[in-house]
Amino acid sequence: MASTQRGAIFPAEGGGEGGVLDFIKQALGKGCFDAVLVPAKLSGSDSFTYSLIKDESLLKDTYPICPIMPVQGAKALSSLTGRGKGKKGIAALVRPCEVRATVELFKLGQVDLGNIFLISIDCPGALPLADWAKDPKKAEEAFSELLKGGASESLRPVCRICDKFSTTGGEDLHIGILGAKSGRIFLIPSSPKGKNILDCIGISVEEDISEWKDKVDRLTEERREKRRQAQKELEAKAVGLDKLLDVFSKCINCHNCMRVCPICYCRQCFFDSDNMKFAFEDYLRRAEMMGGLRLPPETLLFHLGRMLHMSLSCVSCGACEDACPTSIPVAQVFSLVGDKNQKEFDYVPGRSLNEPLPLRVYEEKEFEEVEQSYVETSAKQEAQDA
Amino acid sequence: MPKALKLNKGAEECGRELLRFLLEGEKVEGVFTLIKVDESGGVAYSLVTDPNVLEEAMPLFPLMPTSAAKVLSRLTLVEPASKPIAAVVRPCELRALTELIKRSQGSLKNLLFISSTCVGVYPLEMAVNGNIEEKLPQYWDAVKKGEIAADIRPACAACEHFMPYNADMTVALIGNKDVDKQCVIYLNTDKGEQFAAGIAGELAEGEVESEVIEGLRSKREAQKKKLFDELGIGDFDIQKVFEKCIGCHGCSKICPACYCHVCFFDSGGEEHDSNYYETELEKKGYVRVLPDPIFYQLVRLFHVSMSCVGCGLCADVCPVNIPLWAVALKTGEAVQKAFDYLPGRDIEEGLPITTFVPEGFAGAG
């Protein structure tokens, strides 16, 4: 349907972030929701923390467009609602990848979206956590330059090739900043809940916002091409057992990547459980088979296991790579694998709350090419070998 | 006075020679040491049973990819080693293992410990692009002179316990001016002497302590004070020091003293229901959503400070550079002093908090 993109136009005299905050202030004031979840620097802190805020006066210390991703927003929402929804309506101002991870956690039963309004904002990307930790002031200055149209080289590698930086379908309301003439932002409802907020503040959603849509489409196409290119280069370096072993050779088994991953929600990972503790004789036998055994022996297996468990829901948020102390390109490898697996199931994580997780859907006919029976394949081979 | 074995080989090769002798002579069934895993400075602890694989052994490579204590605990947790194993470990790793054994997390049975006078290791983040290899000449130069090697981790630069406690053999590095041509291995225990019997080398008697070592101890002590002062760790603001924490809990996962199967902070114990958030929101107008770094870090300090050996891995894995090594060391020293306890000094020395002393802290009661 090639109709004109419609949405609301909201004034943003003080720039994009200022516009977002004005909108939140208005909505809070009119009681459209009771509190907002947003990265903030509160009580004299110089660090960004997801905080739940109801006092308007504290909004000046919030950063809806945050230079870093200190904690994945979906994890924050899971902390907040994992034990059931509260009575208050909460607007969560998060990145598109955080919305998507939240939608996946919803499907996995780890968040309650009952009283949550998911609001995403066009995302400029985030800086590597390590760069910010080394020199917060310098990093934050570089980020404001970037927002003014500066070079994107300072962004995290996964952000530079992200093609889902705008509305993704899973949110209630999206805030468009891209393509906007100075002094305005766009509010695009994606669900009845989102529409209700705009009705509540009394703003028309019938404006023509094609300037935003055109810009998003153009940039998406650009980023898709960049992603294809980057993934092709990565494939040459990381695909195949030997190459994977090389990529993960520096892994020290700290499992930081798993701990910060919004999708890895298990209370106790299999790899930290007693299942992975073996008797001495067992280690010794394995060492003797190969002449030497790297310890702990499951370094690569851990990553493969994690991939198997979460890659269909991987939203390429990059939290894993940010937390890796040995600078392994974890997020780049995982999003490459994620993209491929998701394509096989025609699944886009976070696209819709109603789209079921592929592994929970029974299809009578599926992947028949890998479904050869024992009689047809192995039995024949065994007979020949005998 | 312990026996001292002199070999006419550089230190790293001397270490390999000793391991080869033990393995080829079937004195041990396996060797636990660092093995090269890639071409750009990556090493990993491995259990080696084939002497040929020892070509890749890097027993003294200045990187600590994880604590050997943690790995050896896992090797011997279900059952003790059934065959003799030679383990090359750093002094802090041996101390941490001793603490773990006191907490029933493994067994020393059948383990032969080879350690060295430790010069320290480089930060994990340097183990890329051959950065550590580039530093090696100046590292070995510092070894000879008994100085603090430039760019080693602050936890190492500030470490005073660089002489191994309870090692069966000690490779003497610090102050050895000919460390690239010649090495001396001290045989500290009868076990050490028995295992080394028959190796081709010159046997004498000697003392591993020296003026150079005493000098380095003073330098390290001064460095510790300097680093503590720079970080303001004597009188730090816990809110400020932990505020960057992202809640990955990597510090606990890597810490050799944190051995709990499921940490309280992963158990759901720290999770709140919506009622908590809404009450706090009403009271203050805002509430931080997890992580709660201060609660987590304080509980961790409370649990590990008695056994903290200052290995520095917590700081090494921190994605936001919190100087956790200094916080843990400072707190650990204070707690240990109060109980006149040094973690890892002696396997027979009971853990203060599990040893009943009738008059303990009577004044505080």
B36 and B167 housed in the same domain: yes
Q: Are B115 and B171 in contact (CB under 8 A)?
A: yes
Instruction: Nearest by CB to B290, from A45, A58, A79: name it.
Output: A79
Q: How far apart are CA A21 and CA A175, in angstroms?
A: 11
**A281-298 tens-digit pLDDT:** 999 999 999 999 999 999
3-state secondary structure of A177: coil
Question: CB-CB: which of A75, A252, A299 is closest to B124?
Answer: A252
Closest CA to A301 of A267, A278, A325, A327: A278
Percent of chain B residues past pLDDT 70, beyond the cut: 98
Residue A224 contacts B where some CB pair is shorter than 8 Å: no
Pick from A87, A259, A294: CB nearest B37: A294
Tell me: the pLDDT tens digits for A140-155?
999 999 998 888 899 9
CA angle, A81 then A86 then A88, to 5°: 120
Question: What residues contact B222, with CB distance under 8 A and at least 6 apart?
Answer: none
pLDDT at B123 (0 to 100): 96
Which residue type does A43 have?
S
pTM for the model stands at 0.93
Which residue among A246, A288, A323 sits closest to B319, beta carbon to beta carbon? A323
Segments in chain B forming alpha helices (H): 11-24, 68-76, 91-102, 131-145, 154-157, 190-196, 211-231, 238-242, 250-254, 274-284, 293-304, 313-317, 324-338
Tens of pLDDT, residues A8-43: 999 999 889 999 999 999 999 999 999 999 999 988
Same domain? For B209 and B317 the reply is no
The helix (run of H) or strand (run of E) holding residue A15 is: helix A15-29
Q: What is the domain range of residue B111?
A: 3-228
Instruction: Check whether residue B212 and residue B279 sit in a common domain.
Output: no
pLDDT of residue A364: 87
Among A residues 1-60, those touching chain B with beta carbons less than 8 Å apart: 35, 37, 40, 42-47, 49-55, 57-58
Q: Which residue out of A295, A328, A330 would a mutagenesis test of the B interface target, given it has the greatest number of B Cβ atoms within 10 Å?
A: A295
As a dihedral over the C-alpha atoms of residue B123, residue B334, residue B249, residue B37, rounded to 10 degrees, the angle is: 30
| Chain A positions in Cβ-Cβ contact with residue B254 (cut-off 8 Å) | 252, 254
Q: What is the pLDDT of residues B8-29, one digit of tens each?
A: 999 999 999 999 999 999 999 9
How far does B1 lie from chain A, in Å, by closest CA? 35
Beta strands, E only, chain A? 6-11, 35-40, 49-53, 90-94, 116-121, 173-176, 184-189, 207-208, 292-294
Judge if B197 and B274 occupy the same domain.
no
| Whether A86 and B244 lie within 8 Å, measured CB to CB | no
DSSP-based helix, strand, coil % in chain A, nearest 5: 45, 10, 40
| Structural domain total, chain B | 2
Nearest to B277 among A52, A279, A299 (CB): A52
* Claim to verify: residue B188 and residue B59 sit in the same structural domain: yes
DSSP type of residue A305: H
Q: Worst-scoring range by mean pLDDT, A64-68, A380-384, B244-248?
A: A380-384
Considering the domain architecture, whether residues B142 and B224 belong to the same structural domain is answered as yes
Helices (H), A255-318: 256-260, 280-290, 299-310
Which residues in chain B have Cβ-Cβ distances shorter than 8 Å to A237? none
Whether A118 has a pLDDT exceeding 50, the answer reads yes
**Whether B28 contacts B85, CB under 8 Å:** yes
Note whether A266 contacts B: Cβ–Cβ < 8 A. no
Beta carbons within 8 Å of A208's beta carbon, 6+ residues apart? A4, A5, A6
Judgement on whether residues B32 and B147 belong to the same structural domain of the protein: yes
Q: Closest Cα to residue B258, out of B293, B296, B291, B307?
A: B307
- Written as six digits, the tokens of B228 are 């503590």
What is the rounded distance in angstroms from the CA atom of residue A280 to the CA atom of residue A288?
A: 12
Residue B365 has pLDDT above 60, yes or no: no
Rounded-to-integer distance, Cα A307 and Cα A358, Å = 15
Q: Does position B291 have pLDDT exceeding 80, yes or no? A: no
Asked whether the predicted pLDDT for residue A66 surpasses 50, the reply is yes
Q: What is the pLDDT of residues A181-240, one digit of tens each?
A: 889 999 999 999 999 999 999 999 999 999 999 999 999 999 999 999 999 999 999 999
Copy the structure tokens of residue B154.
């602050």
**For testing the chain B interface, which of A250, A258, A289, A298 should be mutated: the one with the most B CBs within 10 Å?**
A250
Element (H, E) at B47: strand B43-48
For the stretch B249-288, pLDDT in tens is: 999 999 999 999 889 998 888 889 999 999 999 999 999 9
**What residue spans define the domains of chain A?**
6-230, 241-364
Max Cα separation, chain A? 81
Residues 6+ positions from B354 with CB-CB distance below 8 Å: none
Task: Mean pLDDT check: name the lowest of A264-268, B321-325, B354-358.
Answer: B354-358
Convert the pLDDT of each residue in B45-82 to its tens digit.
999 999 999 999 999 999 999 999 999 999 999 999 99
Please state, in angstroms and rounded to a whole number, the distance separating the CA atoms of residues B352 and A262: 40
**CB under 8 A, 24+ apart: contacts of A326-331:** A326/A250, A326/A251, A326/A252, A326/B124, A326/B125, A326/B127, A326/B128, A327/A250, A327/B125, A327/B128, A328/A247, A328/A248, A328/A250, A328/A251, A329/A157, A329/A234, A329/A238, A329/A247, A330/A257, A330/A303, A331/A156, A331/A157, A331/A158
Among A8, A192, A39, A32, smallest CA distance to A123 is for A39
Segments in A117-260 forming alpha helices (H): 129-134, 136-147, 157-160, 192-201, 210-238, 241-247, 256-260
What amino acid is encoded at A218 in this protein? R
Residue B363 has pLDDT above 70, yes or no: no
Name the domain boundary from B228, B248, B278.
B228
Handedness of CA B233, B235, B236, B238 (dihedral sign): positive
Give residue B10's pLDDT. Answer: 94
CA distance B118 to B128: 22
- Do residue B24 and residue B128 come from a single domain? yes
Query: SS3 for B189?
Result: coil
Name the one residue in this structure whose structure tokens are 């190492």.
Answer: B156
Among B212, B228, B244, the domain-final residue is B228
**Same domain for B131 and B148?**
yes
Whether the CA torsion A310, A155, A152, A10 is positive or negative: it is: positive
Residues B40 and B162 in one domain: yes
Q: Report how far apart, in Å, the C-alpha atoms of B347 and of each of A214, A385, B86, B103 are.
A: 71, 58, 19, 11
Same domain? B83 vs B51: yes
| Residue of chain A minimizing CA distance to B28 | A284
Is there a single domain that holds both residue B204 and residue B301?
no
ipTM of the prediction: 0.93
A40 to chain B, closest Cα gap in Å: 9
- Spatial distance between the Cα atoms of B132 and A187, rounded to a whole number of angstroms: 52
